[in-house]
Amino acid sequence: MLEIEIPGFGPVRLAHLVSDFTGTLSVDGELLPGLGERLKRIAALMTIHILTADTFGRAREALQAVDCRIKILTGEAHDVQKEVFVRELGPEQVVAFGNGNNDRLMLKLAKIGIAVSEAEGCAVAALLNADIHVGRAVDGLDLLLNPKRCKATLRF
């Protein structure tokens, strides 16, 4: 568990990282450089859940060296599926990463929502529902690995 006291934002006790894959942790289905090592370090602090439609069909292969749970979403309303997943974990214990319209609800619900831009961009709805915006996923993961950075960003 990752614990951070953030003045004005309140206590943060994160047990789960919930992340989109396509466009958030990957570009064209390829895990972005530097993420594997960071995800392994975060897995020692909390459970990692990857929720993805897996547009390029490469999520499982790309993340095989990372201790994480991968859920491939099917059907319709991926935004609602992701929101329900976070709700079932307990939103107060979740940090969520995403870049798409289908991430907006989980970003809003999670204790900390982090919108990621990367090469595939970031939907405005995702950005508006997040607590933090980062240009690169490595920067978002580094906020968790260096909690004082997260504290500095979210404090009132």
Q: Which residue has the higher pLDDT, 138 or 119?
A: 138
Best CA proximity match to 46, nearest among 98, 6, 1: 1
Q: Which CATH architecture is the domain 2-6+11-154 placed in?
A: 3-Layer(aba) Sandwich (3.40)
* Cα(149)–Cα(63) distance, integer angstroms: 26
Given a contact cutoff of 8 angstroms between Cβ atoms, the answer to whether 50 and 72 are in contact is: no
Q: Is the pLDDT of residue 65 over 90?
A: yes
Question: Encoding tokens for residue 118?
Answer: 């990367």
Residue 112 confidence (pLDDT): 97
At residue 79 the predicted structure's pLDDT band, cuts being 50, 70 and 90, is very high
Question: Encoding tokens for residue 3?
Answer: 């614990």
pLDDT cut 90: percent of the chain above it: 97
Domain residues of the chain, as ranges? 2-6+11-154
Neighbouring-strand partners of residue 6: 10
Q: What is the overall mean pLDDT for the chain?
A: 95
Residue 119 confidence (pLDDT): 87
Q: Is 32 helix (H, G, I), strand (E, B) or coil?
A: coil
Q: pTM for this one? A: 0.96
